[in-house]
């Protein structure tokens, strides 16, 4: 297990839920964090939770559903003049559960793919080259083990696509010191997961940190589970 003290992590969707737990867990290990929310004020609760830790905390904000706004988020991170050593592509949306699974419309499909897939690709393209240059990087893409539920098809397909991005990029950057893996948080009680989920959001720790603590020759292109 490596030491990530003084590294810097950018965690999308860290104003609440699983992303919020991840930044707290990282800060507890001495890792500096870049917190992200759709709006700046949405990150206030996360900032309060991070106060006890002696780490550098920055905030960026913006939607991840459109190319222009994603690029603006990237510019905000770049203006911080810090090396992003760890990227958690955590932010995601889930469209409505539909008993009539043939009624998922194109807007729902496109919204899912933009936020859950294209943002992963775009943010990876922005920060992985710098990781390669520095000889170190950890990228963690949150995926889902959901299956056999066409009622949630736009969401589950988008998460499968995020997993495919992980697998293919991992092969491409083998031997660079950059490890690219997926994290399945399991069914967690969040705004997205709902109140009847199997696990509380706090239970994602410490498991959600496993993909960043591996050695440079550790797992690559694999899926970790936040809860064993």
Q: How, if at all, do strands 86-89 and 137-142 pair?
A: parallel
pLDDT at residue 145, rounded to an integer:
84
pLDDT at residue 147, as a whole number:
85
| Cα dist from 79 to 59, 66, 75, 129, whole Å | 11, 20, 6, 17
pLDDT the model gives residue 228 = 76
pLDDT of residue 189: 58
Which contacts of 155-162 are long-range, i.e. CB under 8 A and separated by 24 or more positions? 155/92, 155/93, 155/94, 155/95, 155/112, 155/116, 157/112, 158/92, 158/112, 158/113, 158/115, 158/116, 158/117, 159/92, 159/116, 161/113, 161/116, 161/117, 162/89, 162/116, 162/117, 162/120
User: What is the pLDDT at residue 199?
Assistant: 78
- Closest to 76 in 3D by CA, of 40, 42, 43, 50: 40
Query: 8-225, what's its fold?
Result: Rossmann fold (3.40.50)
Q: Which residues of 61-85 are buried (b: 16+ CB within 10 A; e: fewer)?
A: bbbbbeeeebeebbebbeebeeebb
Q: What is the pLDDT of residue 188?
A: 64
Spans of the chain, pLDDT less than 70 = 187-198
CA atoms of 61 and 36, how far apart (whole Å): 5
Residue-level pLDDT at 186: 76
Domain boundaries along the sequence of the chain: 8-225
């Amino acid at each position: 297990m490596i030491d990530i003290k003084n590294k810097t992590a950018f965690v999308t969707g860290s104003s609440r839920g699983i992303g919020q737990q991840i930044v707290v867990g990282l800060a507890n290990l001495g890792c500096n964090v870049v917190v992200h929310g759709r709006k700046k004020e949405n990150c206030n609760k996360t900032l309060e939770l991070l106060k006890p830790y002696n780490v550098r905390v920055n905030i960026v904000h913006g939607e991840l559903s459109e190319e222009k706004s994603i690029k603006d988020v990237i510019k905000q991170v770049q203006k911080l003049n810090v090396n992003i050593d760890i990227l958690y592509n955590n932010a995601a949306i889930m469209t409505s559960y539909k008993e009539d699974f043939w009624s998922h419309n194109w807007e729902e499909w496109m919204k899912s793919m933009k936020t859950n897939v294209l943002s992963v690709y775009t943010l990876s393209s922005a920060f992985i080259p710098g990781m390669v240059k520095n000889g170190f990087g950890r990228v963690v893409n949150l995926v889902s083990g959901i299956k056999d539920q066409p009622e949630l098809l736009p969401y589950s397909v988008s998460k499968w696509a995020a997993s495919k991005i992980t697998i293919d990029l991992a092969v491409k950057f083998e031997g660079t010191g950059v490890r690219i893996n997926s994290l399945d948080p399991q069914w967690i009680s969040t705004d997205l997961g709902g109140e009847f989920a199997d696990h509380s959001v706090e239970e994602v720790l410490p498991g959600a940190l496993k993909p960043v603590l591996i050695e440079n020759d550790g797992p690559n292109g694999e899926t970790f589970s936040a809860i064993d």
